[in-house]
Amino acid sequence: MSATQMEQEALRPALTVLSEEEEMFRASFREFAEGEVLPRVDSMEKAGKLDPELIKQCFEIGLMAIETPEEYGGAGSTFFNAILAIEELARVDASTSVFVDVQNTLVTNAIKKWGNEDQRKKYLTQMAESKVGAYALSEAGSGSDAFALKTRAVDKGDHFEITGQKLWITNGNEAEIFVLFATVDPEAGYKGITAFIVEKDFEGFAVGEKENKVGIRASSTTELILDNCIVPKENLLGEVGRGYKISIETLNEGRIGIAAQMVGIAQGAYENALKYTAEREQFGGALNSFQAVQFQLAEMAVDIEAARLLTYNAARLKDAGLPFLKEAAIAKLYTSRVAEKVSSMAIELYGGYGYVKDYPVEKFWRDSKIGAIYEGTSNMQLQTIAKLITSGK
């Protein structure tokens, strides 16, 4: 057994055990989710946008800068604690969860790892205080084929001019800081992809329409339009032609965040079903007194526990600096399936009531579907897993 394998094995017995600090983090996130997010869920769903006061509160309690180092105004905490926050928020509302998720696991991590000191001091500090971040990679013709980018960046000496359109950008309406990818040389393929930090008020930058989605409706998913957008040279993130590496490594971490979101969705649907079946009477007894219902609830509990273990395992490996690519792909694939399955079962346990918007489980079901699509479709996760296992990794 190699040293790396021994280190990985040493982590496994403690996967389900949270430290005292982690327990405190979870408790505080749950209190916020139930006290501040839950009362707003219905109104945000109907309005199709997050409550501005809730966004402000997310900054005030440190949710938007969990891993950001203390010298830049953040909590200086772990990736695992960010995962706990994402899970607890999704247990109540997936839209709020993904809002916090993108800020922490994608934008902050990209700037923290690849930005220079001036960029970290400027943007991480702003994002810890009040500014929302977004991650702009996808385009109309480059979904799973993420590097078939059409957006072009032209070197103009003291600045770049970027022209193109981005699609499916989470936090598009709220964001003021965008980690955005464009190619400096379409003929160079992935070697031309370059990352930039783009501010919302840069000349030539505009946010397009918000998508009318099935789920996560309060989360803004928008188009970005760049028309000779002027980006200063100092806003180049990393090096020219290294954008592919930045995007791949950041998305690998982000997939664990999506897995945590799916675990939270499944847990929320399950808890609602558990409560409803205890209160609902049929044939002279509570629904959960029937073995058929008990078995369904047991299946849900088993699936959620397995999904949580996979997610926590990937997060622990990431924090330990150990390889986690396969584990992240497995976690995202499995948890997205579990979230959809468990929320669907919850609807069935509610019967006709589960199919109407007066009850919460139909929203968990709608919110779950995106897990199989964004930050890498299920087929792309299967491809990653297959490549790794067939190569012996």
Residues with a known catalytic role: 375
Q: Report how far apart the first and last C-alpha atoms of the chain are (Å, whole number).
A: 14
Compute the distance between CA of residue 329 and CA of residue 248 in angstroms, rounded to an integer.
12
**Short-list 208, 229, 211, 231, CA closest to 219:** 211
Distances (CA, A) of 51 to 177, 207, 385: 19, 19, 38
Residue 364 φ/ψ, nearest 5 degrees: -60, -40
Torsion 132-374-180-218 (CA) sign: negative
Contact 268, 274 (CB under 8 A): no
Helix pair angle (94-101, 361-368), 10° resolution: 40
- CA distances to 109, 165, 353 from 179, rounded to whole Å, are 11, 14, 42
Query: Angle, nearest 10°, between helix axes 361-368 and 325-350?
Result: 150
Cα distance between residue 8 and residue 179, in whole Å: 32
Q: In degrees rounded to 5, what are phi and psi of residue 305?
A: -65, -40
* CA pair distance 28, 25, nearest whole angstrom: 5
The whole-angstrom separation of Cα 64 and Cα 43 is 22
Residue 82 near residue 94 (C-beta atoms within 8 A): no
Pairing mode of beta strands 221-232, 285-286: unpaired
The rounded distance, in Å, linking the Cα atoms of 369 and 100 is 19
CA separation (Å) from 85 to 166, 263, 311, 367?
A: 28, 12, 13, 17
Identify the bridge partners of residue 159 per DSSP, sorted by sequence position: 232
